[in-house]
Structure 1
Amino acid sequence: MMSKKLVLVCLFNFLVAAAMGLTMRFAFVSSIDFNYRNLTHAHSHVAMLGWVYLMLYVFIVHHFTSKKPKAFNRLFWITEVAVIGMMISFPLQGYALFSITFSTLHIFCSYYFAYLIFKHQNIASKPTRVLIKTAVVFMLISTLGVWCLGPAVGLLGQASAFYQIAIQFFLHFQFNGWFLIGLLGLFFHFFKIQDHKIFKPFYISLVISTVTTLALPVHWFAPSPILTWINGFGILSQILCFILFIKLTKTFIQKHLKSVSKEAKHLYHFALMSFAIKILFQSASLFPNIGEIVKQNHNFVIGFIHLTMLGVVSGFLFAYIIQSKISYRTSLFNYGVYSFILGFLGTEFVLFFQGLRFVFGIGLIPNYYLVLFILSSFLVIGISFIFIGISTSKTNYYDSKQTTKTP
């Protein structure tokens, strides 16, 4: 059975990251004294490395290693120390000695995690094994961007294209390589998707699209017609990948969703729909003018990041928590999920609608910042209910046939 304690640690990190985000929303409603940029760094690092990274860590170790040496458990807690260090140091000092130290510690922990996974993985399904290994490799590749930040600052400064491209390199391969492919590996595992002749072209198009769509953020800081063509090729590969994904998984999805709980079914629908919308929105960059509008519109950028982070990634992670036989108080967990989805849908609508208003020169929605703050509070409330629903359950094993719906 998967450790409830480790899941709660990850959810705690997510709750702190969400509370930081809500604080940043409140800064536009009422004047409060804090360094906005520093809190932004803390918010993003804790969400990515404390919630998504560690949750994937827990799932991969639990489901894909037959022998679990104590090193995995020790490494988890060392990694959490690094997350807490970033949680405290980034708001206080931004990028400085302590925050950089804890960030570096996290990177070295990820290297050791990759070593342990390749050494101890025991994955019978070929598609799942290939996807999980590929995700871990992309995680390692992404850190090259971090190691380039020091030389970029020393040689050209933080305003340089080199510095910005290094950041985009890290973020791109974290989100589109490590996070999304890792989630797909878990998806193939939970839905028992078998090897098929379609898998090879699906996998090839997946890797190609992951690598080539990096051209778009690079183009933002080092414009070149070649990069536009490379990104276009990547988008077409991504569309092909999604079509093959549907063909490969459709039968398994229909079969599996009949046997899961109502909560898991809703979350899978939510995550898959968010995934499809992400592909659709990303495909719009095929048209350079649209890509330029998106780049210059902060609402679209934040909306797209949250679509990926909250809709796709967190939607799947919540569903996988249910599938991993973690016990929870049903009503509290359900309130949390529906509150989270409400907050997500509400903030996404407001962000994208306001972005469109800016494009057409209309101006701000009345009480825009207050509305965004109120809707964002539903995300924090939702995560809190999910956390409480799991932490107050008396057992460490969830079986929908045996667990009664406790209030």
Structure 2
Amino acid sequence: MIDLKLHIRTAFAYFLMAALLGLVLRSYASIEIPVNYKFIVHTHSHIALLGWVYIALTTLIYKLFVASPLKDKKYRRIFWFTQLSLVGMLLTFPFTGYALFSIVFSTLFLFASYWFFWFFRKHGMREFKKTNAYACITAALWYLVLSSLGPWALGAVISLLGSESIWYRLAIYFYLHFLYNGWMIMALFGLFLHLLEHRQIKPSKSSFKKLFWSLNTGIILSAFLSTLFTKPPILVYIIGGVGGVLQLFALILLLWFLFPLRGRMKTIFSKWQWNLLQTVAVLLFVKMVLQLLTAFPYFANLAATFLDFTIGYLHWTFLGVVTIALFFFLDWFKLMRISSKAYVFYFTGFVITELLIFYKGLAAWQSLPIFKGYFEALAIGSSLIPLSLLLMLAFSWRGGQT
């Protein structure tokens, strides 16, 4: 039988490595570090998104929708093939950046994700196939596959047009959009609906249909928001804006359905889990509002001109919405007990770094000075994140819950 808790600790180990690499990047401005900054950026982003989030989500999906002794052997092969690709990226990106071997291992990861997609579609438990949760997870995996068109396009773009071409950025933004807004957010919706369905809580068929199609149409149309740095015709802004509105509408529909049930939900979740859930809801709402703002030319220009706003938004989504939601699900499904004390360090580091990143963007926008000690403060705030992850892992190995 597969030890899925070990798989989650493996995902956490990748997260810890990504956080340490993030600390190196944040310390680069104040300490002389003999590394190639751009190469470390590539390593940091790949290990965070594909090591931590991907492994955590696929482990949860396997546990909830597929797991059985008959499927363990097949899933184990997919897991270890995925580890080969991730370790390969970890050992090549820091030293070569995008080069032959790192591209080979990145490509192997894409094949691993296709393999998992096929595995889920073939072996998902029949009893779940007509549920709302299963529909969301299936859509999430389709977005994962769709996002991979971005990396496949990069090779052709670089060879034909060069890395300075706008098509290079468009390919990357396409990948990130469908990875974040499609794969990750939709998978989180699916996991949450699955949890509720097991407690006999589910919206009416018509309500779910509105939510599902609003969210999916919004995800597809809001991809156009990633193209606005090219200053396209106004119609593109409108299409992207409609997508942003639809995603926000889908979230409001879900919250509207859940609001009358909050008393019942407080009895289902522990106070600690309820606080995590509320935090995710607030962060997701803010994320969708920020995304919608970029449909307006003025804010689209701000995001394209001052990249700290974009970096802050991406970290808000990844470190805030996605990671804290994963903490909740791992704790709820008993795959890993998340220490509430360690989480305080994590959330403090998250808030400090977000404030500083957005401040730097604001300072550049308004021609304000960067205060003395800014980069040191950013590094100190960043150090709280790997510290918190170390503490969480320590509590987990010890079996602690506080």
Q: Normalised by the shorter chain, which TM-score bucket?
A: over 0.9
Q: 2:107 maps to which residue?
A: 104
Deviation sequence 1:362-390 (CA, Å, 0-9, x none) = 12123110111101111111111111111
Tell me the distance in 1 between the aligned counterparts of 2:297 and 2:162: 28
Mapped pair 1:10 → 2:8 = no
Aligned-residue offset at 1:354: 2.6
Counting only pairs closer than 5 Å after superposition, residues 146-185 of structure 1 correspond to structure 2 as 146-185=151-190
Match of 2:294, SS state, is helix
Q: 1:272 maps to which residue?
A: 281
Tell me the distance in 2 between the aligned counterparts of 1:285 and 1:249: 28
Q: Which sections of structure 1, spanning at least 5 residues, go unmatched?
A: 394-404
Q: 1:236 maps to which residue?
A: 245
CA contact (8 A) 2:348 2:384 kept: yes
Aligned-residue offset at 1:4: 1.3
Q: 2:66 maps to which residue?
A: 65
Mapped pair 1:94 → 2:109 = no
Match of 1:223, SS state, is coil
Aligned-residue offset at 1:121: 1.0
Tell me the distance in 1 between the aligned counterparts of 2:81 and 2:263: 40
Deviation sequence 1:244-288 (CA, Å, 0-9, x none) = 121233345542232222332222122111111101211212321
Match of 1:286, SS state, is coil
Change over 3 Å in CA distance of 1:100–1:77 after alignment to 2: same
Q: 1:82 maps to which residue?
A: 85
Which of the residues 221, 227, 246 maps onto 2:230?
A: 221
Mapped pair 1:33 → 2:34 = yes
CA contact (8 A) 1:336 1:383 kept: yes
Aligned-residue offset at 1:297: 1.2
The AA in structure 2 aligned to 1:219 is L
Mapped pair 1:371 → 2:377 = yes
CA contact (8 A) 2:181 2:219 kept: yes
Change over 3 Å in CA distance of 1:124–1:255 after alignment to 2: farther
Match of 1:148, SS state, is helix
Tell me the distance in 2 between the aligned counterparts of 1:22 and 1:48: 16
Match of 1:316, SS state, is helix
Counting only pairs closer than 5 Å after superposition, residues 209-358 of structure 1 correspond to structure 2 as 209-221=218-230, 223-326=232-335, 328=337, 333-358=339-364
Counting only pairs closer than 5 Å after superposition, residues 191-202 of structure 1 correspond to structure 2 as 191-192=196-197, 193-196=201-204, 197-202=206-211
Aligned-residue offset at 1:16: 0.2
Normalization by structure 1: what TM-score?
0.92
Aligned residue pairs, count: 393
Match of 1:364, SS state, is coil
Q: Which sections of structure 2, spanning at least 5 residues, go unmatched?
A: none
Tell me the distance in 1 between the aligned counterparts of 2:258 and 2:158: 45
Q: 1:398 maps to which residue?
A: none
CA contact (8 A) 2:140 2:183 kept: yes
CA contact (8 A) 2:147 2:178 kept: yes
Normalization by structure 2: what TM-score?
0.94
The more displaced of 374-383 and 235-244 is 235-244
Q: What percentage of aligned pairs have identical amino acids?
A: 31
